[in-house]
Every structure is written in structure tokens, then in C-alpha cells.
């Protein structure tokens, strides 16, 4: 069954707006679909798939679109749609357009230049090659350009993984245990889960396995005081709350009231009552200062380039710039330093990003440790072993889609040194003993 010609018009309209890169692609698509309510779910799905396919393969398709007839935006839209549903499924094409599309889709892409195959901007491709070498950089790039599977986290407050697998199978949805997270499930296809009873009652949440592991690295325990410093919509907050078995006190800090508002219905579903969302003006807010030296554990999931999430957000690579990353570095360092003040002696601080760039990861951590002698790095390998996670790492957690089938994540675990016991001078101690003897 061929798609109606209007689909091409819709794709061209929304693509023109998205390629201005003035905001996230998912937000632009959502707004477009709201403004065009006559588009059915199938049509919306095809348009979205075409747009995301083109964003993933923009370098290649921009090159291909230099041939053919019609406007450049129409040619790009045709390539995206052909990538999504195949040439034969497209209606309203001229004979010349059909012939051109068929020729283009048959091109052997293995012979394309490496940077074009990687479908990355030049600055990012150069950085990855410098760090990993061409072969590994291409493997990473190709994996980042592949759509991610659907990962779920089982809320252990409400259920266990085996029972959830059995219940999902009745839907029928086939889910498999994730290899590293003990609460994770992976669904190869992307069924709608919003109407499932398991989702509505908070037994499952959508969360990438790598994000689940970040929560585990915090190691939050029953009865502790913990903070998720950049909580956003609260995916990691909810994971931490479950690890704490709904005890203690868990702060969810964020500068966006809108983002934290999205956490509240999720909290209600989850059954957690130990979570306290707090809107702050900035990382040096007085609400933060009042908690100085009082928290057992603090997670800093810092604002970052998001380049580890390209499987889900392919537009990010075209919107991000070197200047933007440098601006983020200043903010990351400031946030980490402020969050560190809340950790008590002997407490744990975890710095994390969904970036694959050294300057957002090791660079920030090493600069922090150089300026904060009261903190020491705890090897990720040690913490993973403590958490019984079968994953080989060194000093840091570094996750990549081509190696671990997760989004790209980084984490560093640091501990605040305990204050050394006070040493009483020998003469003072002798005088104190003598005074006690006289009193007796």
C-alpha cells in the first residue's frame, strides 16, 4: 500500500524547520503534529522516521541530493522517506524522481569517504579520530547512527524482573534482561507502553541501561541523605529512591521548574515518598549552602553536549559546536564544585555526563581533584565489583553503544576524605590526666 502524496509535503515542511537547528528535533516534531491533527498515527510515524533517518545520515544524503531534480528540500525529504519505508511505498513521485531514488538507494556506501560514512560534523569526527583512531572512531560513529532499542527499568519497590518479563510477554512484548543492570530490560522493537498497566502503576519506567548503572554507582543505602543535583525529569532520581527502598531523604534539585514538574506524576506512579523536588535558581543557591557537609551521597548528572545520546537525538551532533562545548565546560566545573560542598566527610560524589568528549569528562574531574585535596578518586572497577556489576572498567565508567549497547556515558566516583583525628599534644594530655587524678 502506497503512502499518500501529502506525506511528502508534510515531511518537507517539518524538515525545513528542523534543519534550521534552532531547537531539539523532537520538540519541533511534536509541535508540528499538534498543529496537524489530521495526520494519523501511521503517517506521523513515517514522517518522524524519515526525519530521524535523514538526521542520522545527513552527510551522505546532502551529498546524494546534489543530483536529481526539484528543490533540495524535496530531494532530502524523498531520501529520508525512501530510507524509512522504501521507494515503492512512496506515492506522488514522477517517473524521473522514482528512477533517481532507485539509483541513489543502490549506491554502495562502503566506498564513501570515512567522514561521510561517519555522518558527523568535521570537528567531532576529528576529535574522535584523535582519541580512538579511524577504525574505532568509525565503529563508534556507526553505532551512534543506529536507532537505540527500548530499555526499561523495573521498579523493585513494586515488582521483580522475572515477573515483569512474564507479564510483558502476555501483551505480547518480548523483553530480555539487560547484561549489566540487574533491574534493566531491553525491548528490541519499540511498542507503545504508555497504556500498559505495568507502566501506569509505576512498575516499569523507560530508562537506558547506562543511566541505570549511573544510579547504581552512587550506592545509595537505606536511611541516607542523598541528592540528585541536576535531576531534570527524574529518571535517575526514581532509580535512587528505589535503591534506598523508599527510606531516608532524597533531594531532586534542578533549575527548571518545568522539568521537575514532569517528575511529580512519575513519583506518584512509583510509590516513592522519600523524594523531595527542589527548584533552585543556580548551583550556588542558598538552599544548597544550607546542606553543606550534610549529605551521604550526591549525584551530579551535569548538563553536557549530549553527544552520547545520538542514537535517540541525532540532531544534537548538528546543533552542537566547539564553542558550545567550551561554554558547557565552565558550567560543569562550577556545578561540580558547588555540589561537592554538600557531601559530608566519608561521603560519595559521582560526576556523570552523557558525553563522549574528554573535555567534558576526565578533564573536568581531573581539574576538580587538583583543586580539592579533600577528595580522592575511587576506581569505577572497585565500585562496580561492590555493586556486583559484571563490567570491566578502569578508574572511570565509560560506556559506548558499539561496545556496551548503551548510550554513551561517563562517570567518576569520588570520596570526601574523613577529617583526621585530632592529635592532642603530649604535655596537654599529661596535664589532663593529672587534673583527673587530683579530682579523684
Instruction: Kindly report, residue by residue over 287-337, the tens digit of the pLDDT.
Output: 999 999 999 999 999 999 999 999 999 999 999 999 999 999 999 999 999
Q: Residue with C-alpha cell 527542589? A: 278
Q: Across residues 112-141, what is the average pLDDT?
A: 96
pLDDT on residue 428: 57
The 3-state secondary structure of 174-203 reads: CEEECCCCCCEEEECCCCCCCCCHHHHCCC
pLDDT band at 368 (very low <50, low <70, confident <90, very high): very high
Q: What is the CA radius of gyration of the chain?
A: 26
| pLDDT greater at residue 330 or residue 430 | 330
Whether residue 245 is predicted with pLDDT greater than 80 in this model: the reply is yes
- Alpha-carbon distances, residue 231 vs 221, 235, 260, 434 (angstroms): 19, 8, 7, 56
User: Residue 399: CA atoms inside 13 Å, Cβ hemisphere, count?
Assistant: 27
d(CA 42, CA 322): 38
Helices 6-18 and 25-35 cross at an angle (nearest 10°) of 140
C-alpha cell at 13: 515542511
CB-based contacts of 255, cutoff 8 Å, min separation 6? 279, 280, 281, 282
Whether residue 21 is predicted with pLDDT greater than 80 in this model: the reply is yes
Q: Is the peptide bond before 227 cis (omega within 30 degrees of 0)?
A: no
Whether residue 139 is predicted with pLDDT greater than 90 in this model: the reply is yes
Could you confirm whether 304 is annotated as catalytic? Answer: no
pLDDT on residue 424: 58
Whether residue 433 is predicted with pLDDT greater than 90 in this model: the reply is no
Catalytic residue among 78, 250, 354, 413: 354
Instruction: Kindly report, residue by residue over 371-389, the tens digit of the pLDDT.
Output: 999 999 999 999 999 999 9
Residue 375 CB coordination number (10 Å): 17
Amino acid at each position: 500500500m502506497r503512502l499518500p502524496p501529502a506525506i511528502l509535503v508534510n515531511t518537507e515542511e517539518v524538515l525545513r524547520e528542523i534543519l534550521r537547528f534552532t531547537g531539539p528535533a523532537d520538540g519541533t516534531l511534536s509541535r508540528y503534529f499538534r498543529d496537524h491533527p489530521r495526520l494519523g498515527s501511521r503517517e506521523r510515524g513515517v514522517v518522524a522516521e524519515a526525519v530521524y533517518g535523514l538526521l542520522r545520515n545527513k552527510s551522505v544524503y546532502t551529498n546524494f541530493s546534489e543530483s536529481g531534480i526539484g528543490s533540495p528540500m524535496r530531494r532530502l525529504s524523498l531520501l529520508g522517506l525512501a530510507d524509512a519505508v522504501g521507494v515503492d511505498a512512496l506515492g506522488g513521485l514522477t517517473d524521473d524522481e522514482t528512477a533517481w531514488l532507485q539509483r541513489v538507494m543502490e549506491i554502495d556506501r562502503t566506498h564513501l569517504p570515512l567522514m561521510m560514512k561517519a555522518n558527523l560534523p568535521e570537528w567531532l569526527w576529528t576529535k574522535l579520530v584523535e582519541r580512538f583512531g579511524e577504525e574505532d572512531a568509525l565503529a563508534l560513529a556507526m553505532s551512534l547512527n543506529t536507532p537505540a532499542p527500548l530499555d526499561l527499568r523495573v521498579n523493585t519497590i513494586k515488582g521483580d524482573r522475572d515477573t515483569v518479563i512474564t507479564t510483558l510477554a502476555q501483551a505480547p512484548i518480548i523483553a530480555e534482561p539487560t547484561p549489566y543492570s540487574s533491574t534493566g530490560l531491553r525491548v528490541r522493537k519499540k511498542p507503545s507502553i504508555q497504556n500498559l498497566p505495568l507502566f501506569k502503576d509505576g512498575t516499569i519506567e523507560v530508562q537506558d541501561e547506562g543511566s541505570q548503572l549511573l544510579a547504581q554507582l552512587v550506592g545509595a543505602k537505606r536511611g541516607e541523605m542523598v541528592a540528585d543535583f541536576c535531576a531534570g525529569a527524574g529518571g535517575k532520581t526514581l532509580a535512587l529512591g528505589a535503591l534506598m527502598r523508599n527510606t531516608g531523604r532524597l533531594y531532586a534539585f534542578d533549575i527548571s521548574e518545568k522539568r521537575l514538574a514532569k517528575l511529580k506524576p512519575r513519583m506518584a506512579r512509583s510509590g516513592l515518598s522519600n523524594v523531595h523536588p527542589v527548584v533552585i535558581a543556580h548551583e550556588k543557591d542558598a538552599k544548597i549552602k544550607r546542606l553543606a557537609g550534610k549529605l551521604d551521597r550526591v549525584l551530579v548528572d551535569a548538563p553536557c553536549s549530549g553527544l552520547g545520546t545520538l542514537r535517540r537525538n541525532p540532531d544534537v551532533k548538528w546543533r552542537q559546536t566547539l564553542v558550545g562545548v567550551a561554554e558547557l565546560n565552565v558550567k560543569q566545573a562550577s556545578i561540580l564544585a558547588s555540589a561537592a560542598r554538600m557531601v559530608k566527610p566519608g561521603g560519595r560524589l559521582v560526576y556523570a555526563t552523557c558525553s563522549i568528549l574528554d573535555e567534558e569528562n576526565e578533564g573536568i574531574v581531573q581539574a576538580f581533584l587538583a583543586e580539592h585535596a579533600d577528595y580522592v578518586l575511587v576506581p569505577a572497577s572497585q565500585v562496580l565489583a561492590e555493586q556486583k556489576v559484571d563490567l570491566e572498567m578502569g578508574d572511570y565508567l565509560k560506556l559506548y553503544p558499539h561496545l556496551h549497547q548503551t548510550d554513551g556515558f561517563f562517570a567518576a566516583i569520588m570520596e570526601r576524605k574523613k577529617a583526621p583525628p585530632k592529635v592532642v599534644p603530649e604535655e596537654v594530655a599529661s596535664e589532663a590526666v593529672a587534673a583527673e587524678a587530683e579530682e579523684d
